[in-house]
Chains A and B, each alone.
Chain A
Amino acid sequence: MGLQAVFFYLFAFVAVASAFMVISARNPVHSVLFLILVFFNSAGLFLLTGAEFLAMILLVVYIGAVAVLFLFVVMMLDIDFAELRSGFLQYAPVGALIGLILAAELVLVIGGSVLSPEAAKSITMPIPSPAVRTNTAALGDVLYTHYVYFFQVSGLVLLVAMIGAIVLTLRHRENVKRQDISKQVARTPATAVEVVKVKPGQGI
């Protein structure tokens, strides 16, 4: 237990400290890099609770893909941070409201499970012991066996979002030469080459 506590405090401290750095760093790229550190330490916290699959998926999806694209965009944009900071205070009430709501929800969830653990357990799926069913298999049971229709619906929502994004951004510009590989492969000497007999001194 002692070693786990040490690692918990390590991950938790680094996560909170770098979360603070995300909002206080002057350089937006540094902010994103600190955000990545927050994700990384959260993955460590997941590991400590035994949710190994979630920890790895957090690494693959959030750090490996989402944050890369995020970093990509922040690097490409030339953000003037001083200008961005100037209107900071006018958004403070909205931010405070969102923070308050999140804090209230956290208190409700944690308070509920502290006051009556049985009631909190009755609304969630029972967690099988790791010896019986591995973490990954247990998650698979929940997603693909018990809640398969909800899973399909969420997949459909994502598909619609993807198609929407493609439709909004896809433009076929005129006068752009595109490579059509099947057309290139289908070319034969008969269609591509013309043999011309040229008489000397006459040209074509």
Chain B
Amino acid sequence: MDSFFSTYLWPAIVMIGQSLLLLVCLLVFIAYILLADRKIWAAVQLRRGPNVVGPFGLFQSFADLLKFVFKEPIIPSGANKGVFLLAPLVSVTLALATWAVIPLNENWVIANINVGILYVFAISSLEVYGIIMAGWASNSKYPFLGALRSAAQMVSYEVSIGFVIVTVLLCVGSLNLSDIVIAQKTGIGTMIGLPPSFLDWHWLVLFPMFIIFFISGLAETNRPPFDLPEAESELVAGYMVEYASAPYMMLMLGEYAAILLMCSLTTILFLGGWLPPVDVWFLNWVPGIIWFLIKATFIFFMFAMVKAFVPRYRYDQLMRLGWKVFLPLSLVMVIITAFVLKLTAGA
């Protein structure tokens, strides 16, 4: 009985506790990320943004949550009921499930699996199902068009994201996310004799890939300027048209969890995860999670600025960018990276 407790029960309790803690922190963070998104957009347009609920509107997202939860969920009579209700669940579960392998600090990860980056890639490629199911089950024209668009869009941009990840993996030699961060402790900065600094991170060595990954991340998470699945000027709200109250909130939550995941992934792959920017004692003293959050929030700030600045792409331009620009570019970069690594390894 004692061995049962120590081998099964206690690890299970620890894991559930860790997951709950991460989940709660993540949801609160998403609430403020949502607010930040609206505030930044407002600031660019010289508006104030939400400023009524709480000081500076800080409790706006929680007020929205209450509103969504207490409203009546409306299911269209022509809708395929089961799939209609399953879609938001799929979307939010998948978006949150990926966070199990994200290392927020050294050893701060719930599941430190060997194929971490593949797991993230696999689950984020499944996120398209939430959208397709929502669009199809609504049994209405605009949602269906939105779903078809997003299916084509996400499958297209996954290809270039895959190649970007491959170049990073070539440099690191491991699929483990923690190993990817630790590998960025040394790089071209230390190669020319400087102390470990932000110059070692992959963003400098793989600069074109960093840009491609950022833009593909925008497309993969249906952020503007690639938000064609929910283009409000043509499809009203795309696949979300028929959704109301709590299911709508879950679709939104899934979307923002996926956006935050993309920011964290950029941080891990290119900006050195939890590593401090310069190897100085007072910067090393700051906990790694703070650096991680600063970097991820900065990437999100860039996401929000792109939303505020850039007009929406036309659909054929979006496809052209994915297949005719990013795919060849990332493919060539994979080949170049492999050659450079092979030559330098031999020397």
Residues of A within 8 A of B (CB): 2-3, 27, 29-30, 33, 36, 52-53, 56-57, 59-60, 63-65, 68-69, 71-72, 75-76, 134-136, 179, 181
CB within 8 Å for A56 and B122 given contacts A3-B8, A75-B136, A134-B114: yes
* Closest residue of A by beta carbon distance from B121: A60
* Closest residue of B by beta carbon distance from A58: B122
Flag if A33 contacts B158 (CB, 8 Å): no
A57 to B119, CA, bound (A): 9
Flag if A64 contacts B126 (CB, 8 Å): yes
Beyond A63-B122, A75-B147, 9 additional contacts (C-beta under 8 Å) are A29-B136, A36-B129, A52-B114, A59-B125, A64-B125, A65-B155, A72-B132, A72-B151, A75-B136
Tally B residues with Cβ within 8 Å of A.
31
Chain B residues with CB under 8 Å of A71's CB are 129, 132, 151
Q: Is the interface of A mostly helix, strand, loop or mixed?
A: helix
Most A Cβ at <10 Å: residue of B119, B126, B154: B126
CB within 8 Å for A59 and B122 given contacts A33-B83, A75-B136: yes
CB within 8 Å for A65 and B136 given contacts A57-B118, A136-B114, A136-B115: no
* Closest residue of A by beta carbon distance from B119: A56
Flag if A136 contacts B175 (CB, 8 Å): yes
* Closest residue of B by beta carbon distance from A63: B126
* Closest residue of A by beta carbon distance from B11: A3
Q: Is the interface of B mostly helix, strand, loop or mixed?
A: helix
A132 to chain B, nearest CB (A): 13
Whether a CB of chain A sits under 8 angstroms from the CB of B109 is no
Most A Cβ at <10 Å: residue of B129, B144, B320: B129
Chain A residues with CB under 8 Å of B148's CB are 72, 75-76
CB within 8 Å for A68 and B151 given contacts A33-B133, A57-B118, A59-B126: yes
B222 to chain A, nearest CB (A): 15
B111 to chain A, nearest CB (A): 12
B190 to chain A, nearest CB (A): 26
B157 to chain A, nearest CB (A): 12
